Amino acid sequence: MNRTAPAFPDDLLERWGVRNAELVADTRSSGVYRVRLADGSYAIAKLLKPSGLHEMPGMDFLAWRAGLGAAKLLDRHDTACLLEDAGTLTLRQYRQSQGEAAANAVIADLVKNLHAPSPEKPPAGLVPLERHFRSLFEGAARTEVSELSSVLRRCEKIAEALLQAQTDIRPLHGDLHHDNIVGDTGRGWLAIDPQGLWGDPAYDVANIFGNPDGAFAEIIEPARIMTLARLFSEILGCSKEKILRYAAAHAGLSVCWSMENGDTLSRGGNAFERFTFAKVVMPLVGEA
């Protein structure tokens, strides 16, 4: 055991045959370990804290996917989860060396795998998009009159219309972005850390528009936005406008999440970047 890490629970050591556990992250919501098992293989152990129980629907999603397009859920015991070690190479790192087009090709293939049909019945505990967007509806209502309130209310209007017209409702990863796509273990690129949502598949690519971290100048470039819209509309079989409208709605939601966590619209923060993206994408969907 790593002596600097919090003690790994004895019952899990025995249950999973853990021979060594290295603490990878200790956050408000979970403790994450890379563990070596009795057969010499590695896995990821995620021990959810009380503030991390919202991640349980994501574990249901992984169990349902059974490894297709996503890391496998190997075992679950109460709020402790043993996951396939999907590797350490993130798509953000890959994009830095191989470029935007190569990264987009990875995303396209991954989305196809994540949305491929499953013989299993969808989990019952997935979060409906209507509930997922609650922070946007609440944030738009309480924001004082300003440019921010105007943008959030337009995002709210877009979200309401989209949610009322959902089609092909299915399980969604819910948090796809370049740091949640990993691939250097021989299984190809895999999605990790899903939220586990239930709704229109067009929402599952909305977060890609605001990523990766550190690429803000490209994120707000209309040419890139339209390239992604064309790519995702072809993959998901829907209009470019629908893809863009979900991207705009998600940007408003992300602003609200960030501000709930104490962020402001100061330049360089997530709220500022998502707010700026929303202002750029609105004219592309006739919401100027």
pLDDT tens-digit map of 163-182: 999 999 999 999 999 999 99
**pLDDT in the model for residue 265:** 87
CA 72 to chain centre: 16
pTM: 0.94
Active site residue 60: no
Q: CATH 3.30.200.20: does it fit domain 10-84?
A: yes
**pLDDT in the model for residue 6:** 63
Give every residue of the chain whose pLDDT is below 50, as ranges. 1-5
Candidate list 60, 85, 168, 175, residue with the active-site label: 175
**pLDDT in the model for residue 287:** 67
| Domain boundaries defined on the chain | 10-84, 91-285
pLDDT tens-digit map of 219-267: 999 999 999 999 999 999 999 999 999 999 999 999 999 999 888 888 8
Q: Give the Cα separation of 145 and 162 in Å (integer).
A: 24
Grouping H, G, I as helix, E, B as strand and the rest as coil, residue 21 is strand
**pLDDT in the model for residue 288:** 55
Q: What residue ranges in 61-187 does DSSP mark as E strands?
A: 73-77, 80-84, 127-128, 170-172, 181-182
Q: Give the Cα separation of 10 and 148 in Å (integer).
A: 50
**pLDDT in the model for residue 80:** 96
CATH value of 91-285 in 3.90.1200.10, 3.90.550.10, 3.30.70.20, 1.20.1250.20: 3.90.1200.10
Q: Give the Cα separation of 11 and 25 in Å (integer).
A: 21
